[in-house]
Amino acid sequence: MTDLSKTPADATATGHPMVRAENVHKSYGAVHVLKGIDLEVRQGEVFCLIGPSGSGKSTFLRCINHLEKVNAGRLWVDGELVGYQQKGDKLHELKDREVAVKRRDIGMVFQRFNLFPHMTAVENVMEAPVQVKGESKAVARERAMSLLERVGLADKARNYPSQLSGGQQQRVAIARALAMKPKLMLFDEPTSALDPELVGDVLDVMRGLAEEGMTMVVVTHEMGFAREVGDALVFMDGGVVVESGNPREVLTDPQHERTRAFLSKVL
Ligand SMILES: Nc1ncnc2c1ncn2[C@@H]1O[C@H](COP(=O)(O)OP(=O)(O)O)[C@@H](O)[C@H]1O
Ligand SMILES: [Mg+2]
């Protein structure tokens, strides 16, 4: 029976934890960057991460994506401890090759688009499915074309990155990440490097993904996006979670002085 009491937003975000961090610490040499992060991202949720430069947002995303090893605490993605495999009651550290396999399930979009400059848009989107998953070129091309259509760039499939605007390149980068059928998408300031008039198209693509139920962790300075699309918001500063909650509530009525000070600068 359908539960009519649920709003659509609830219906997409009632899943199991897709990311769970428990007292996560990360240092680079003597620099203690993450100082005990606790948070949970549920399946289907749009989880926004905000905070000043240097607060550890990118580092945390890199830990989720197995690009960095945490020094202490625990981090799970989709129920599995990042970097380890449980056999019986023992934990075994994964080999690099095994880590790479896990990373395939997580799409990442960076501030800079990092497209292959010598490949067209459609070739960029096809590359990983063909090279990493061994998909046939025909199948990969067809899927790549439908992904480009989804991000509004079907007519740019044969263009090279240098022939595309920053916003278009970023949408190709999103299509490229989606081509691997990720269960989780990480966005690290995806619109920060764009001219203001190009930001909206990228945010629209992200909003569409959210509506389709994709689990997304989004580091952003776009407070409008966080307020409208976000299911949860965390304010980080100095490697700790200062405040978290419903984006509408945190943004309009922050409880901590540090959150207020930050928001007064960006809003
Ligand atoms: N590979 C690295 N080696 C040494 N220090 C790093 C490295 N990556 C990040 N840091 C440091 O960690 C801190 C947090 O960086 P980062 O996670 O990029 O913050 P944010 O994304 O919130 O701006 C900064 O002080 C930065 O200099
Ligand atoms: Mg960063």
Tell how far the Cα of 140 is from the centroid of ligand 1, in angstroms.
36
pLDDT for res 6? 39
pLDDT in tens, 229-244: 999 999 999 999 999 9
Rounded distance between C-alpha atoms, residue 85 and residue 195, angstroms = 43
- Dig out the tokens for 81 from the structure: 């401890």
**55 C-beta closer than 6 A to ligand 1:** yes
Q: Measuring from atom 7 of ligand 1, which residue has the nearest CA?
A: 28
Helices 121-131 + 137-150 axis angle, to 10: 130
**Torsion angle, alpha carbons of 24, 29, 30, 33, to 10:** -30
Tell how far the Cα of 62 is from the centroid of ligand 2, in angstroms.
10
- pTM greater than 0.85: yes
Asked if residue 75 has pLDDT above 70, the reply is yes
* Residue 65 vs residues 127, 227, 243: alpha-carbon distances, Å: 20, 25, 23
- Dig out the tokens for 13 from the structure: 């975000």
pLDDT in tens, 94-132: 998 888 888 899 999 999 878 999 999 999 999 999 999
pLDDT in tens, 191-214: 999 999 999 999 999 999 999 999
Rounded distance between C-alpha atoms, residue 33 and residue 26, angstroms = 6
Q: Measuring from atom 2 of ligand 1, which residue has the nearest CA?
A: 28
Q: Are 103 and 44 in contact (CB under 8 A)?
A: no
The percent of residues above 90 in pLDDT, for the chain, comes to 82
**57 C-beta closer than 6 A to ligand 1:** yes
Is residue 205 within a helix (H) or strand (E), and if so which, with residue range? helix 196-211
Q: Measuring from atom 12 of ligand 1, which residue has the nearest CA?
A: 33
By C-alpha distance, which of 61, 50, 45, 172 is closest to 106? 61
**53 C-beta closer than 6 A to ligand 1:** yes
